[in-house]
Amino acid sequence: MSAEAARTDLPPPASLEAPPDIRGDSSPFARSILTLGACGLALVLVGTIAIQIFYAVAHTPDPQVCLANGIIPYQPATASGPASGIQGWQGVCNIVLGLTSRAETAVLVTGIVLGVASLGIGLLSYRKADTRRKRDHLVTGAVFGGQAVNFGILLLIFVQSPQKFVLQFMNFYQLRGHDGVALVTGIKYTLVLAFGGEIGGILIGLVVALLEISGRRSVRAPATVYINLFRGTPLLVQLSIGYFGINLGLGLHLSSFTVAIAVFALNMGAYSAEVFRAGIQSIERGQMEAARSVGMTYLQAMRYAIVPQAVRRVIPPLLNEFVILIKDTSLVIIIGLYLNQLDLFSAAQQGYSDTFSATFFLAASIGYLIVTLPMIGIVNAVERRLRSGLVSVAGGGV
């Protein structure tokens, strides 16, 4: 009886509108540590950029000061002598002046001090926090502070003497005019080379993969030899043999661009054949057996049952190979493209040999990143979707 009475005393189960917030509340102290760390990091990064923008927009450099920094102002050619000095010296000088300014040092030192403070306080106090949200804020503040200290100290060392680096790598003036345009068309020809090689490589790879999984050794052997030859030798050597040895040596009279695409396709074919083989072999044996059991031929089973499933699984590794190929197209410089169809790296190299400014290589790096970063993003997105099972409708339910 008493147990029953106790049971009726229990409150009815609380019906919750939403899952409860188990993270709890923050506190002014925790929030201020988070703000402190974020401010330190922002000072170091945003402050440096702001100072650069200020100098670039609102400052006219004094030629004497620039000269003292080793940046020789440009003098056009006159009757008495040829042109001398550095083209775009104002821009280079402003970058140096901005980096070496008192304001920059002040920003960095302040950022480092804030960083050290939030790092120290955050790390010392986060264990004592009594809610998860407080702990999150303290730890994040400490991490921001740590990053502020890290970047701040690196920049502080760098701004002691940035002149040579800026002159060599940040002379953006050199990119203007003809050579700058060449970099943009360079991206185009890099993509043409890469897509040409990729499409050819996928076609070759699919056929070779089908040979590679054959039950007959006589069919497998040539495929294996091809794959091993192209995977086992450097692309640079393959380009040289294809262009100098076969095209020039045997007199085929093809353009270096055509030869390059052909070699990239053959090289890619070997790698994608392995990707396709793995993809096809990852499809359950039962799929082939089911297709054969209703009377399909081996090729029909491949065409309708196996390959469509394998293709989904090989998309991420194929895109990975594609990213690698985009970068490897730069090797085409060994065989030399026509001046009107230079790829990104060849164009940058051309610019460098005209000006001896490594800024071209920096610009080319950015050009490659513009192409490869979205590709890498796509690979990651596709892999996530494959993992969550949205793309692969497979599974079979067993």
Partner 1 sequence: MPNADGSIVRLEGVHKWFGDNHVLRGIDLVLQEGDVQVVVGPSGGGKSTLLRCVNLLELPSQGHVWFDGQDITDVRTNLNEVRTHMGLVFQAFNLFPHMRALRNITLPLEKVLNLSRTEAEERAREQLQRVKLEGKADAYPGSLSGGQQQRVAIARALAMRPRLMLFDEVTSALDPELVGEVLQVMRELAADGMTMMVVTHEMGFAREVGTRMVFMDGGVIVEAGEPRETFANPRSPRLQEFLGEIL
**Chain contacts with partner 1 (rule: CB under 8 A):** 284, 286-287, 289-297, 300, 304-305, 308-309, 312, 392-398
Residues 6+ apart with CB under 8 A from 39: 114
Q: Nearer Cβ to partner 1, position 18 or 390? A: 390
Distance (Å, whole) CA 344 – CA 156? 34
Residue 147: how many CA atoms within 13 Å on its side-chain side?
15
Toward partner 1, which CB reaches closer, 241 or 288? 288
In whole angstroms, how close is the CB of 232 to partner 1 at the nearest point?
Answer: 32
Instruction: Give min distance, CB of 389 to partner 1, in A.
Output: 8
CB of 398 to partner 1, least distance (A): 5
Shortest separation between residue 225's beta carbon and partner 1, angstroms: 28
Name which of 161 and 297 has its Cβ closer to partner 1.
297
> How far is 163 from 347, CA to CA, in rounded Å?
26
193 or 306: whose CB is closer to partner 1?
306
Strand-pairing partners, residue 78, are: 81
Q: Distances from the Cα of 113 to the Cαs of 37, 40, 110, 372, in angstroms?
A: 10, 8, 5, 37
Residue keyed to tokens 């192209």: 230
Which residue stretches of the chain are H helix? 2-9, 28-42, 48-58, 63-68, 89-100, 102-125, 132-158, 163-169, 178-212, 217-232, 235-240, 256-281, 285-293, 298-300, 307-328, 344-355, 359-388
Instruction: Tell me how far, at minimum, the Cβ of 332 lies from partner 1, in Å.
Output: 38
Residue 309 CB, shortest distance to partner 1, in Å, is 6
The dihedral sign for the CA sequence 310, 313, 317, 323: positive
d(CA 82, CA 355): 16
For residue 289, give Cα distances in angstroms to 215, 295, 304, 305, 306.
15, 10, 13, 10, 11
Nearest distance from C-beta of residue 279 to partner 1, angstroms: 13
First to last CA, the chain: 51
Kindly state the smallest distance separating residue 217's Cβ from partner 1, in Å: 18
Instruction: Between 286 and 377, name the residue whose CB sits nearer to partner 1.
Output: 286
Nearer to partner 1, 258 or 282 (CB): 282
**Shortest Å distance, C-beta 307 to partner 1:** 10
In sequence order, the 6+-apart residues with CB closer than 8 A to the CB of 18 are none
Compute the distance between CA of residue 101 and CA of residue 352 in angstroms, rounded to an integer. Answer: 30
Q: How far is the CB of 204 from partner 1 (least distance, A)?
A: 25
HSE, side-chain direction, 13 A CA sphere, residue 335: 30
Instruction: Transcribe 235-300 into DSSP letters.
Output: HHHHHHIIIIIIIITTT----HHHHHHHHHHHHHHHHHHHHHHHHHHTS-HHHHHHHHHTT--HHH
CA atoms within 13 A on the CB side of 301: 18
Q: Which is nearer to partner 1, 291 or 333 (CB)?
A: 291
